[in-house]
Amino acid sequence: MDIGIGLPGHVPWTDGRTLVEWARRAEARGFSTLSVSDRLVWNTPEPLIALAAAAGATSRIRLLTSVLIGPLRANHALFAKAVTTLDQVAGPGRLRLGLAPGLRDDDFAHGEVDYPTRGREFDRLLDRLAAVVSGGDPVGPPPATAGGPPLLFGGGSAAALRRITTHGTGWIAGDATPSAPARTTRWSGLSARTTPSPARSTPGTGCPSPTPARRTSPRRWPNSPGSAAMS
């Protein structure tokens, strides 16, 4: 059994060196994964920077955002660059991104990001990230992990399931399970093509997820190698 542990982000944040030492000790004690959450208005570290510090202090333990609020990263190219840079720092196969559109409107208000359109912006960010990690975009560096780090998606809506089947490798939960009534109701009416198979454990996340999902071809961006103009 793989057991992960969270970085100390939900306690009052006073000393960044604590994070580094926590990461070292977690790896030494055999934990499989270090995870970090994401809130803008809390006094907590930025998740990708926190995981970069943890990556530099360790060599084996996997790294997970649980979960990162995608739409708050309004500059999609810069976000993709941060992800691939972190993947390079961590090394192949260590980084996994848990992503979600976000629920709390105060994060969006303080981030000056439109809350009602966050789902649409999230989809645009995912398209750009897919283009960057596939090499179909001039933004770099390339990821160390072939195809980019695996993406896990939170939420129980039809949109969450669509993102799993088009961009992801699994589902990540907070205190819910795949059989939760709300999720079962939302997903039961979808077609057989997108309905998840019986859940299996995703190592290092502590959460069940659907079987690996199909990736669609990433969107090509203008002026990138081999790209066609976007409509």
Q: Is the pLDDT of residue 214 over 60?
A: no
Contact 52, 81 (CB under 8 A): no
**26-73 confidence digits (pLDDT tens):** 999 999 999 999 999 988 899 999 999 999 999 999 999 999 999 999
**148-161 confidence digits (pLDDT tens):** 999 999 888 899 99
> What pLDDT, on the 0 to 100 scale, is given for residue 157?
87
User: Domains in the chain, start-ordered, CATH in brackets?
Assistant: 5-209 (3.20.20.30)
Measuring CA to CA, which residue among 30, 34, 80 is closest to residue 54?
34
What's the whole-number mean pLDDT along residues 160-186? 75
Higher pLDDT, 181 or 90: 90
Mean pLDDT of the residues in the chain? 81
Q: Which pTM does this prediction carry?
A: 0.78
